[in-house]
Amino acid sequence: MRRRIAVIIASVALCLGGLVVTQAGAATKTVSASGGSVSFTSTVRNATTCAWSSSPKIAGFAKTVKCKTGAIARSARFTANTSSTAKSYAVTLIVRGKTTIVDHWKVTQAGGTTTTTTTVPTPAPINLSGTGQTATSSFSVESGLAVFQASCSACQENFIVEIDKADGSLVDIPINVIGSYSGSIAEGLPSGQYVLSVTADQGVPWTVQITLPRGVSGVALPATLTGQGQEVVGPVAGGSSLRIQATNTTTQGGNFIVEILGANGSLQGLPINEIGSYSGSVIANFLSGGPYYLEINSDGAWSITASSG
């Protein structure tokens, strides 16, 4: 019985004309999502042609060359994978000669990183109002920059706006003037509950609007900003430095102060702190990167041009 099986096998080999087909085991290679070259090497013996191919097709890779005995190599260039899903390729080498050998490789290319852009919505303004000396109801603030736009046009005595935590502890007194007031200030506040303690003339109305700008793009530089008195302006774009050119016309000989604030409310620089009228320019360095807000403290009219440092 064994002899008969051997005869059958010999007959099959004869029908194939003496051609023996063998297949090597597959090797796995990897390539990054950004792409790159991968080399494939094989050793052949008594060959006549070596045919390279791939599935799916790799541009410029498929080729048939004459080959004999020794090492044969070919490189494939993979383009970037912009999909978040990994890709798989099958690379095949068919060596023909006295025998036919099929060698193959598997190539796995990593998927690209999917970038998710999150739009941070700007919370609705918080509007507070009252008359005379008033402690407001508590309000919630998300961590970051808070701009307080206040007005007491009929005030003749002290107008004071004090920011307190909900437990009554003092945070800051950003507005403390005598007489009528219309302006804005900025504070970098952590998330939490806050109240305002406002002092004004008895029976005189006042208003405070609190805005929490989030994800606002800065205007392109150079940018010229003008205003009167105490005011927060911006945002403006910018890198690690800003050139501030400013003029200020005082009415009472008070301070002229320009502060640079980050979008999170952090103090980035205090390039100008003078008394009286002012005309000049200064460069603020070592900033964290825009956009930036400018807080100006003045008792008169001012003009500021912000440009790249």
The pairing of strands 20-23 and 301-308 is: unpaired
Distance CA 303, CA 222 (A): 13
DSSP assignment letter at 219: B
- Indicate the helix (H) or strand (E) that contains 125: none
Name the nearest CA neighbour of 45 among 85, 113, 99, 8. 99
The confidence score (pLDDT) of residue 21 equals: 38
CATH 1.20.120 correct for 223-308: no
CATH 3.40.1710.10 correct for 20-109: no
* pLDDT tens digits along 115-136: 444 455 778 999 999 999 999 9
Instruction: Give span(s): CATH 2.60.120.380, the chain.
Output: 126-211
The confidence score (pLDDT) of residue 288 equals: 85
Instruction: Give span(s): CATH 2.60.40.10, the chain.
Output: 20-109
Distance CA 164, CA 184 (A): 17
What is the pTM (predicted TM-score) of this model? 0.61
* pLDDT tens digits along 44-87: 888 999 999 999 999 889 999 999 888 999 999 888 888 888 89
Distance CA 233, CA 283 (A): 18
CATH fold of the domain at 126-211: Jelly Rolls (2.60.120)
What does the pLDDT average to over 92-116?
83
* pLDDT tens digits along 215-258: 888 899 999 999 999 999 999 998 889 999 999 998 888 899 99
